[in-house]
Amino acid sequence: MTFAETCNQIFSRSVCDYHLTDNVDAPMHNPYPDHTIESDLYCKNWIDVVQWHLEDIIRDPQIDPVEALALKRRIDRSNQDRTDLVERIDSYFWDRYHAVVPLAGARINTESPAWAIDRLSILHVKIYHMRIEVARTDVTPEQHGRCAAKLAVLEEQLGDMTLSITQLLDDYEAGRRVMKVYRQMKMYNDPTLNPVLYAKK
């Protein structure tokens, strides 16, 4: 089984586990041992699933403004947690591939492997929810057809992304691509770099 296929199994399990309660406040029960890449992948997807639902909730036009602000700040924290976890997953790949001697003409990728896996994780959440939309019986045939078409595209994308991540990791291992990691260096959460925050000191 390839690494990307392992990701697919873990992400699918996480999405299903979340929907046993379908509650953004439900505790995560990570089934994988601590300090393993499998545990990090499960946690990564759990963050994505919870955030998906937080984004739904905050778009309620009747939401209380105070509650909306609290949710917005929770989403901000979730985004930072997501970024931190993706960078930890990238450290796993750095440890695995940085010592590979690049071949002549080896290329540099536009994104690190963990950010590709981030998109794969979110794709699993999209597919789960689009399948729900396709299964609805309270919509018009036109709406059903649009959702079915979207689901077909998402499922094709899942296959393509699984293959492309596999090919990327194969290229790193063979030296056809140079392993490089660029950290996000987000500034707005850093009180020393966000001018709105450091101006208040």
pTM over 0.85: yes
Closest-CA residue to 88 (of 40, 29, 21): 40
Helices 141-174 & 113-135, crossing angle to 10 degrees?
Answer: 160
Residue 185's pLDDT is: 64
Residue 115's pLDDT is: 95
What CA–CA distance (Å, rounded) separates 152 from 145?
Answer: 11
Q: How many residues does the chain have?
A: 201
Residue 16's pLDDT is: 98
Closest-CA residue to 120 (of 88, 79, 161, 86): 161
What CA–CA distance (Å, rounded) separates 106 from 97?
Answer: 14
Residue 199's pLDDT is: 72
Q: Are 37 and 117 in contact (CB under 8 A)?
A: no
Residue 194's pLDDT is: 73
Residue 85's pLDDT is: 96
With vertex at residue 40, the alpha carbon angle to CA 1 and CA 55, rounded to the nearest 5 degrees, is: 110
Using only the alpha carbons of the chain, give its radius of gyration: 19
Please, which residues have CB within 8 angstroms of residue 133's CB and are 6 or more apart in sequence? 139, 147, 151
Going 23 to 62 to 150 to 121, the CA torsion angle's sign is negative
What CA–CA distance (Å, rounded) separates 73 from 88?
Answer: 23
- Reading the chain (201 residues) residue by residue, the pLDDT tens digits are 999 999 999 999 999 999 999 999 999 999 999 999 999 999 999 999 999 999 999 999 999 999 999 999 999 999 999 999 999 999 999 999 999 999 999 999 988 999 999 999 999 999 999 999 999 999 999 999 999 999 999 999 999 999 999 999 999 999 999 998 887 666 677 777 677 667 776
